Structures are given as structure tokens and as C-alpha cells.
Amino acid sequence: MYSGIKIILYLILAFLAAGFTGWLISIFNSLVQVKNNINKAWKNIDVLLLQRNEELPKLVDIVKTYMQYEQDVLQSITTLRSGYQNAKSVLAKTNIENRMRERMGRLAAVAERYPDLKADELYQRAMERVSALEASIADRRVFFNDTVNIYNLRSEQFPQLIFAWIMRYKPHPYLKLPQEKRP
């Protein structure tokens, strides 16, 4: 009779150990899933950002002829564009894109000071193309930031934060809203 109780206790312990192991595996898998969702959401934005970055040299060339005294804005956009192309991680690209958004806002503000530039047909077409891409990027930014929010929340909640710490998952930055669109 004593051996029957022992067997039942071992079965209960094995069942509890299996349940606990399954719970740990599900926590691990959920963190991996939200991390991969950030990469997936980024790929959707990355296509548009690459298209926009291909349009920027055309825009910069048009603007250069009008803005001899605004070279720092144009140079910073060119530098960030090449930095984006060389960036390997989603984190690095997110940070570069946030800085690029700020520079693009400065470029638009500087262009306001040049009436001849605003009247230039090539400039208007280039800005229309960039603006259309920006609108698409804005739509995808919402989804990306929602995904980042889920990842950041899960990696900061207990017990997931233990796994996030072990896996060296750090909070991910959001794609910032352009300065001129903030309330």
C-alpha cells in the first residue's frame, strides 16, 4: 500500500513539473513571438522608408540649387540616409528614422523661405512623392508602435521580465510622431 501512495505522489509531482515546464515554455515563446512581431512590423515600414530614401537624393539635388546657405540640413539628411542603408538592426534603423523625421521637418521649414523653390515643378513632384510615402509610413507607424508597446509591456511584466532579462531583451523605442503633428 505504501508503494501505491509513492507512485501517486510521483505522478502528481511529474504532472506538476510538466505543467510548470509548459508554463515556462509558453512565457518564453510569447516573448519570442512579440520580438519577432516587431521585426515583421518593421519590414512593412522598411519598404516604404527605403522608397522614401531613394526619393531624397532627387529632392536634395533640387533644393541644393536654391539653398546655398542651408547645407547643414541637406548634409545631415544625406548622412542619415546612408546611415540607414548601413544599419543592420531594427533598433538602429528606428533611431535613425526618428532623427530623419526631425531633419525632414527642418527641410520643409527651410523650403518655406524660398518661394522660387516652392514654385519649381520638379520640387513639387518630388515633395508629392515624398508626402505620399510619408502618409503610408504614418499608417504603418501606428501598427509598429502598437507592436512595440505590446513587446515593451510583456518584457516588463512579471514573470516575463525574468526571461527578458536572461535573453537580454531591452525596451524598444517607438517611431516618433513628427514634431509638427504633435498636439
pLDDT tier at 87 (50, 70, 90 boundaries)? confident
Question: pTM of this prediction?
Answer: 0.69
Sequence length of the chain is 183
The pLDDT confidence band at residue 68, using thresholds 50, 70 and 90, is low
Give tens-digit pLDDT for 149-165: 999 999 888 888 888 89
Neighbours of 77 (CB within 10 A): 21
Task: Report the interhelical angle of 90-111 vs 2-64 (nearest 10°).
Answer: 30
